[in-house]
Chain A
Amino acid sequence: MNSRIFFLIPLVGFLVLAIYFAVGLTKDPSKLDNDILLNQPMGEFKLVPVKGRTEGLSAADVKGKVSLVNFFGSWCVACLQEHPFLLKLKRENIIDVYGVDWDEKNPNDVVRWLARHGDPYTKIGVDDTGETIIDWGITGAPETFVVDKKGVIRYKFIGPISPRAWNDTLLPLITELRKQ
């Protein structure tokens, strides 16, 4: 009678695996280490300007106030989805958004893109080497970071910012950081 318990082992094993997969498969492995740069000071960078402009972007520009650093590209469809929201942030003067443009096939692409859709950024730098995007652990676009006054990364948001994410997460955090 007692030995029947052994026949339950495969069932128990199966249940353990099932729970493990049920949890594990809902996670996107590329987002697992989302918080790796959290609360770390951003690295130094000095990016070249968009073609035809004179001012690029450096770490010093971002520091001194709470700001957003948005990694984008003219090739990025989801960035376009987020674009009207960034324009609104600029229009209503809610927060400074700094743009890092990367992975352009042609330097003119981003010039055209900004002309066509509008420029929501306080300043834009172009990462033509990939050094800065790797330093920020970027895997795609758009990715947006909240950086505090001292230049410490406080939040990493992957994908287009939704109004809900803004109201529930980003805005409360920004308000909090501004008090510090």
Chain B
Amino acid sequence: MRFLLILWAALFVWTVQVSAVEPDEIMDDPALEARAREVSKDLRCVVCQNQSIDDSNSGIAKKMRVLVRDRIAHGDSNQEVKDYLVSRYGDFVLLKPPMKAKTMVLWFGPALMIVIGLVGIIFYYRRRSAQAAAGTAGVSPLSAKEQARLDALLKEEGSDK
């Protein structure tokens, strides 16, 4: 029982985010190190497609982490560090794409899709209820012959039971 409990607890431990930052990289000033971590989390490891340099063990990610810390130590702001890397690698190096003309579709596309979908649904139901209204108005009541046949059918069905 106790073993199972420990196992269960271990499942949660497993989900804790692990960083790839190595002890020799960490800056002496905790405030600066915190900034470096923050910047690193927004920067893509350029050889691993979808991992930040903070998460990646690759050689180039390590070099970039060291460079980020170097620049912060020399007085660069977080934005200046990112701007430098964007000037070298393009927007690709940012995990979150920046808002600009080229990326508008990316940012607003999903919302636009929802709007288009909602408009479509509204139009569809409006048309349908309009048709339904027109339908009941247009249909003439059953004739005596039709009513007799309907009654006969209903009775037949009732007799089955």
Q: Which residues of A pack against B, CB within 8 Å?
A: 3, 6, 9, 29-30, 32-33, 36-37, 103, 129-131, 133-140
Contact = CB atoms under 8 A, between A and B. Distances in A.
A139 B60 contact: yes
Contacts of A130: 60, 62-64, 66-67
17 contacts: A3-B128, A6-B120, A9-B120, A30-B46, A30-B49, A30-B92, A33-B92, A36-B87, A36-B89, A129-B63, A130-B64, A130-B67, A133-B60, A134-B67, A138-B60, A139-B46, A139-B89
B127 A134 contact: no
Nearest to A103: B59
A143 to B, nearest CB: 12
Interface in B75-93: 85, 87-92
Given A9-B120, A29-B49, A139-B47, A37 B88 contact: yes
A135 B49 CA distance: 19
B49 A33 contact: no
A49 to B, nearest CB: 20
Contacts of B85: 134
Contacts of B46: 30, 139
A interface majority secondary structure: loop
Given A103-B59, A130-B66, A136 B88 contact: yes
Nearest 7 pairs of A and B residues by beta carbon: A33-B90, A130-B63, A137-B88, A36-B90, A139-B46, A137-B89, A103-B59
Interface of B: 46-47, 49, 59-60, 62-64, 66-67, 70, 85, 87-92, 116, 120, 123-124, 127-128
Contacts, number: 56
A138 B90 CA distance: 12
